[in-house]
Amino acid sequence: MLNIVIFGAPGSGKGTQSAKLVEKYGLKHLSTGEILRDEIKAGTELGRLADTYMSRGELVPDELVIDILEGLIGKNGHIKGFVFDGFPRTLAQGEALGKMLQKHGEDVHAVVNLEVDEKELIDRLLKRGEISGRKDDNRETIESRLKVYHTQTAPLKEFYRARGILKKIEGVGSVDEIFRSIEKEIDTLVK
Ligand code: AP5
């Protein structure tokens, strides 16, 4: 299997580049943000709970997201691999992902780290907020999401750098240009 974590701040292009990874390498996309938004739409108990955190730009508790991922990894036995988008987001989630994959004799093979400057991130998210009306794309919540990213999520870069699998990608430019840089890294793993 080929298991890729797509990593970066809110608005760095994780969802956009995940779609291209899925298309080229035939992987299964697992976005915890999308899964949680679906739960909110469906009005489930998990959705209602998640909404209280997401609308403030805070992280949903580790146990909840780890549980969701554990179920999904177990269910998708015969696939080429996963693109994990928006997971892991804390060191505890990083440790948990490693353990979940090891249970199936698997591992994370690459962590694609999309680097985008803060001004560009805010511009992209505000723009999307105007168009799609995603509830957390407003200035106050964006600021909180970015703060949470720096304090709770960014430490994972060192976690994966120490394992030799962190691939730094310049995340500004056209979507195709950025994907070409990602492909270069992933193709060396596939060969
Ligand atoms: P999540 O859904 O993961 O959101 P996010 O990390 O804030 O990321 P975004 O979806 O906003 O951005 P992205 O990096 O995917 O970029 P995208 O491609 O969309 O999480 C939402 C919330 O759920 C969290 O705040 C948290 O509360 C909760 N949650 C999720 N996972 C969790 C976890 N594991 N643990 C705990 N809580 C969790 O692009 C953004 C915009 O930019 C788009 O409009 C796009 O068209 C545009 N764009 C993309 N690429 C480019 C480019 N190259 N140039 C110009 N514009 C571009």
pLDDT single digits (tens) 109-133: 999 999 999 999 999 999 999 998 7
Tell whether the model's pLDDT for residue 27 goes beyond 90: yes
- Domain assignment present for residue 186? The answer is no
- Domain assignment present for residue 85? The answer is yes
- Domain assignment present for residue 136? The answer is yes
- Domain assignment present for residue 170? The answer is yes
166-170 and 110-115 as β-strands: parallel, antiparallel, unpaired? Answer: parallel
Confidence of residue 184 (pLDDT cuts 50, 70, 90): very high
- Domain assignment present for residue 7? The answer is yes
- Residue 97: which CATH number? 3.40.50.300
List ligand 1's pocket residues with C-beta within 6 A. 8, 10-16, 32-33, 36, 53-54, 57-60, 65, 86-87, 89, 93, 124-125, 128, 136, 145, 175, 178
Tell me what the pLDDT averaged over the chain comes to: 96
What is residue 131's predicted lDDT score, i.e. its pLDDT? Answer: 92
**Residues 128, 135, 163, 180: which is the catalytic one?**
128
Range of the domain at 9: 2-177
For 58-123, the DSSP string reads: PPPPHHHHHHHHHHHHHH--SSS-EEEES---SHHHHHHHHHHHHHTT----EEEEEE--HHHHHH
- Domain assignment present for residue 164? The answer is yes
What is residue 149's predicted lDDT score, i.e. its pLDDT? Answer: 98
**Residues 24, 28, 56, 134: which is the catalytic one?**
134
Protein residue with least CA distance to atom 39, ligand 1: 13
- Domain tally, the chain: 1
Q: pTM (2 decimals)? A: 0.97
- Domain assignment present for residue 183? The answer is no
- Domain assignment present for residue 135? The answer is yes
Q: Is 161 a catalytic residue?
A: no
Task: Select the more confidently predicted residue: 156 or 71.
Answer: 156
What is residue 72's predicted lDDT score, i.e. its pLDDT? Answer: 92
What's the distance, Cα to Cα, between the start and end of the chain in Å? 13
